[in-house]
Amino acid sequence: MSEFLTAYGLFLAKTVTWVAAVAIVVLLLAVLIRAARGGSAGGERLEVRNLNERYEDLADMIRDQTLSEAEHKQLLKDRKRSERERRKAARSHADDGKPRVYALQFRGDLQASAVESLREEISAVLQVARPGRDEVLLRLDSEGGMVHGYGLAASQLARLRSAGIHLTVAVDKVAASGGYLMACVADRILAAPFAIVGSIGVVAQLPNFNRLLKRLDVDYELHTAGDFKRTLTLFGENTEAGREKFQAEIEETHTLFKRFVGEYRPKLDIARVATGEHWFGSQALELQLVDQLQTSDDYLLARTRDAELYGLRFRRRQPLAQRLSDGLVKLGLGLRRSVEETALSQRYP
């Protein structure tokens, strides 16, 4: 039995090795082919998707199975008539067409790295959106992060308001700390009932290894010009004056945070909500942190009746080396998971 298991293990190892080798070659070829095809200048492109058509396609999948042949024919006739009327109105310039809603998405991380795409998307929208008529819907999902990153993201959203473009932010999961710093810029904030909202506060922490270095007889030198060029350090000996300055800087940042939120949402009781706490959507509505309980899906679906919806996404092509690295990491994780599952299946038949 042991000989069989040994032989089977060797066979499995060889198989996994061959599969990994073939997958790596296929991945390399795919990346090289995509790179050769190129794209827009600098590997950048803005994807635009008609969301009205997407929702209609989803509904048609059900209609194809539920409508009778006569009902389906009538539906097609109604659509053709509506399309003719729309084209006739456009030719006669009787109106400026339906309002447009541009749907963007921001998934935050510690550095607010998605701001690099957000700034391009907003720059594109500002060139075509009609002030007082069109709208931007931002689907926001962020737990916050670095002050300067989220400050820039909030400033990008403020560009829309300055241009007279109505901004709606929808929070389906979380908009906390830096995420709420962005959300508060909106003309209107929507939130799902159990979305996490708020956390208007500032936090900073770091370990200090100075005592450990002393026990190991390791000297650490830090030279600065200026009393507070460095307040707290990882390896040096921190002083009370440094701690006090560090705390003062945190308090100053918190004051700026509260002032910014109060500027865009003047009806808020800042003293009540700027404690660093977070609330669920239904509680946030009572505190006026949000304006309405609604998911982004319900909002967009409702707007299909009176507006043209467009989903925008700016993509920047990563360097070839980075794409290869990311692909190999994903491949390695997938192979490891496969081997682990195979091993478990042998142990627990």
Considering 177, 214, 258, 338, which one is annotated as catalytic?
Answer: 177
Q: How many domains does the chain have?
A: 3
| Structure tokens that stand for 53 in this block | 């058509």
Residues 85 and 111 in one domain: yes
Query: Are 186 and 311 in the same domain?
Result: yes
Coil, strand, or helix at residue 46?
Answer: strand
Q: What is the DSSP string of 111-171?
A: T-TTHHHHHHHHHHHHHH--TTT-EEEEEEEE----HHHHHHHHHHHHHHHHTT-EEEEEE
User: Both tokens of residue 254?
Assistant: 């918190």
pTM beyond 0.85 = no
Give the residue numbers spanning the domain of 102. 44-199+277-316
Displacement of CA 167 from its chain's centroid (Å): 17
Let me know if 229 is a catalytic residue. Answer: yes
Question: Across-strand partners of 141?
Answer: 107
**Residue 66: exposure state from Cβ atoms within 10 A (0-12, 13-18, ≥19):** exposed
Among residues 2, 162, 229, 267, which one is catalytic? Answer: 229
- Judge if 135 and 183 occupy the same domain: yes
233 and 306 fall within a common domain: no
Tens place of pLDDT per residue across the chain (349 aa): 556 556 656 666 677 677 767 777 776 666 566 655 544 445 789 999 999 989 888 888 888 888 778 877 777 777 777 666 666 655 554 456 789 999 999 999 999 999 999 999 999 999 999 999 999 999 999 999 999 999 999 999 999 999 999 999 999 999 999 999 999 999 999 999 999 999 999 988 889 888 888 888 888 887 888 877 778 888 888 888 888 888 899 999 999 999 999 999 999 999 999 999 999 999 999 999 999 999 999 999 999 999 999 999 999 876 656 556 656 655 665 655 555 555 544 443 4
**CA–CA gap between residue 191 and residue 184 (Å, rounded):** 12
Which residue, 194, 175, 191, is CA-closest to 261? 175
What torsion do the CA atoms of 290, 296, 297, 298 make, to the nearest 10 degrees? 30
Residue 269 lies in a domain: no
The answer to the question of residue 83 being in a domain is yes
Same domain, 100 and 159: yes
In a domain, 98, yes or no: yes
Report the C-alpha gap between 114 and 328 in whole angstroms: 23
H or E stretch at 212: helix 210-215
Domain assignment of residue 65, yes or no: yes
Q: Is residue 299 part of a domain?
A: yes
Q: Are residues 194 and 331 in the same domain?
A: no
Q: Tokens 């995509």 — which residue?
A: 34
Active site residue 80: no
DSSP class of residue 40 equals S
CATH assignment at residue 121: 3.90.226.10
Same domain, 154 and 6: no
Same domain, yes or no: 57 and 144: yes
The verdict on residue 263 lying in a domain is no
User: 81 in a domain, yes or no?
Assistant: yes
Helix (H, G, I), strand (E, B) or coil at 252: helix
Residues 72 and 173 in one domain: yes
State the DSSP string of 59-107: HHHHHHHHS-HHHHHHHHHHHHHHHHHHHHHHHHT-S--S-EEEEEEEE
Q: Is residue 266 part of a domain?
A: no
Say whether both 159 and 31 belong to one domain. Answer: no
Does one domain contain both 308 and 291? yes
- 95 and 165 co-located in one domain: yes
